[in-house]
Amino acid sequence: MPRVAIVAKALDKWFGEGEARTNALRQVSFEAYFGEILFIVGPSGSGKTTLLSVISGILRPDGGEVMIDGTSIWTLDNDALAAFRLARIGFVFQDFHLFPRLTTVENVAIPLILKGRDWNDALNEAKHYLEIVGLANRAQLPPIKLSGGEQQRVAIARAIVSQPDILILDEPTASLDGDTGHAIMAFVKTHILNEHRCIVIVTHDARIFDMATRILDMEDGRLKRIERGEAG
């Protein structure tokens, strides 16, 4: 049996006040395992991104619990939670969030700098991770000089440079054409996934569903069903 990476228990999340108050998550519970790629799918407004934010330590739930490899993250104070996220969770944003005034290698080095690494050591480590994602020859370029697929790979390199156990991707193929999106996902599955890492992906892109180990289907803030993916 694979080791449990994430446990979500009865998660609730509310937004707004009075008549505008809405229930974005409704008693959502599931487990994710090391060595798998778990997709979270569903229509817009179903609670996918809210769930992603809650399990990654960005958005506090109004009820329930999130455990990452045995640690109940929402019982941590702010400083401890920030340190836990930096050490254990890598996040790839939908719009990449690369810094335009930094070079590609400097963008990748940011998590190491935040952890107190020496600047030159951080850059050398970042170069290694650019090699992993096949962009060693783009190290000194600014992000604007890169294609969408290359920017996505830079964002992935930045997310894994701290060697996190949990890698979370928010709509990783939304701004990419079909071939590039599938190539990115194939790269993640081949080079990033391993038995010590759990990858969680929010997507509405049916073109990449074949890459999933399992698929969580959400609707109206509820977990509708859990299906085994084609890669499972």
The CATH number of the domain holding residue 136 is 3.40.50.300
Residue 130: inside a domain, yes or no? yes
Parent domain of 191:
35-48+77-228
Band the pLDDT of 206: cuts 50, 70, 90: confident
Whether residue 23 is contained in a domain is answered as no
What does the block give as tokens for 14? 């509310």
Residues 6+ apart with CB under 8 A from 45: none
pLDDT-derived band at 42 (thresholds 50, 70, 90) equals very high
Query: What is the rounded distance in angstroms from the CA atom of residue 165 to the CA atom of residue 84?
Result: 11
Domains: count for the chain: 1
Of 44-58, 98-112, 125-139, 161-175, minimum mean pLDDT range? 161-175
Q: Quote the strand ranges of 55-95, DSSP E.
A: 63-68, 71-72, 89-92
| 3 part of a folded domain | no
Amino acid 95: pLDDT = 81
Tell me if 72 is assigned to some domain. no
87-113: average pLDDT = 92
Is 95 part of a structural domain of the chain?
yes
Q: Per mean pLDDT, which range of 28-42, 100-114, 182-196 is the poorest?
A: 182-196
Could you give the count of Cα atoms lying within 13 Å of 72 in the half-sphere of its Cβ? 6
